Amino acid sequence: MKKSLYFVFTLLLLNSCSKPKETVSLNTIAEDYVKLILEIGLYDSDFVDAYYGPDEWKPTIKKLDTLPAKTLIESISKLQSQCKQVNTEGFSNLEKARLMMFEKQLLAAKTKLEIMSGKVYSFDEEAKLIYDAEPPHFTEAHFETLLSKLNTILPGEESLYTRYNEFISQFVIPKEKLDTVFTTAIAEARTRTNKYIKLPKNENFVLEYVNDKSWSGYNYYQGKSQSLIQINTDMPIYIERAVDLACHEGYPGHHVFNALLEQNLVEDKGWVEFSVYPLFSPQSLIAEGSANYGIDVAFPGQERIDFEKNVLFPLAGLDINKAETYYEVLALMGKLNYAGNEAARKYLNGEITREECAKWLEKYSLNTPERALQRTRFFDQYRSYVINYNLGKDLVADYIDAQGGTVEHPEKRWEIFKELLSNPHTANSLK
């Protein structure tokens, strides 16, 4: 009798141990995730940057008077728990990358909801939780050294701020020539991109000029390889911005990035979570970083300077006699770009006021008072998002360079760049 009981007990124990762990389909979680992101978007018009999934997944509920943060956060926590139940046995490296990015996107959404409901994070904490990145710190002495070099390039008796702004004023695109210059730059960027990346046959964009925005340019991806590209004309637009924005917003930047994700991940693989793009997420560091790095990929080194001097300068009616000095100045200003991050960090951490932040930008970024205040508006609206432009570019550049995608090997560079645009990546996966 005792042996029989022991045998029964052993069978029950073995059955219990051999029972497979409850698993959840990542595709099922993905659908719930998309619907949840769209619901959060009801409470922040910037939250959903693009959506090109089924219309029936869009929220049917009306926006409530107050943010239901607790309920939404609980929904995210549920999805996070389900991610832990996904059976990764047999997963390819790409599928593992999908799951890893999925979990980081969920963490970002939860963090953003907490911020929307009043929770305070430091600039660095927020950047880590939302963008999966650790922003570098620079001292004022670092920027002073760069300004000293700029002072040598632009000698004179007046303040460096005055000399700089008077000098660059010679390179403003006249408003009546903006469209000609921009459409020419975009067409060239598209031609160069199409040589290395096979774009969808029907891809296209609409270009608009707008006012009263905190940003200089924006791409609203519409799905099916279509984009709305807007250029803000509030402030003077300098000649180099034509190529910058043509590449960043268009080719091979945001327009191409979204088209490749839609084609490669949503349509070909059925990974529906990529049919929605939450702006405040790790995806944005890759999007902005690759869009800025894409400028150098499409127009490497001297090729850009030659195109601008030989094509865009004449179209804009600008004198090329001081162009070489201008490009020296631009190179230094690129290094000063991180001064904006420091201004945002101090401002958002409550260490300085808006007025003090604007003064910092006037001093270390040499912004006009109007431009400096516009940038503080950007900080208010997008917060630590500012790191995605410069840190994102540096991480993308290092990633591609480390794999042999150097300027000396353009085909390899484009190959790795396309792989980056077409697959799940976050800041940590670039290390």
Q: What is the pLDDT of residue 212?
A: 94
Count of beta carbons in the 10 Å neighbourhood of residue 402 = 12
Q: What is the pLDDT of residue 9?
A: 42
Q: What global pTM score does this model have?
A: 0.92
Q: What is the pLDDT of residue 168?
A: 96
pLDDT tier, 61 (very low <50, low <70, confident <90, very high otherwise): confident
Listed residue (430, 427, 431, 429) closest to 135, CA to CA = 427
Q: Is the pLDDT of residue 396 over 50?
A: yes
Mean pLDDT taken over the chain: 93
pLDDT of 364-389, one tens digit each?
999 999 999 999 999 999 999 999 99
Q: What is the pLDDT of residue 171?
A: 97
- Between CA 199 and CA 260 the distance in angstroms is 8
pLDDT of 181-239, one tens digit each?
999 999 999 999 999 999 888 999 999 999 999 899 999 999 999 999 999 999 999 99
Q: Is the pLDDT of residue 403 over 70?
A: yes
Q: What is the pLDDT of residue 263?
A: 95
Contact at 8 Å (CB) between 48 and 279? Answer: yes
Residues ≥6 apart with Cβ < 8 Å to 407: 296, 300, 301, 413
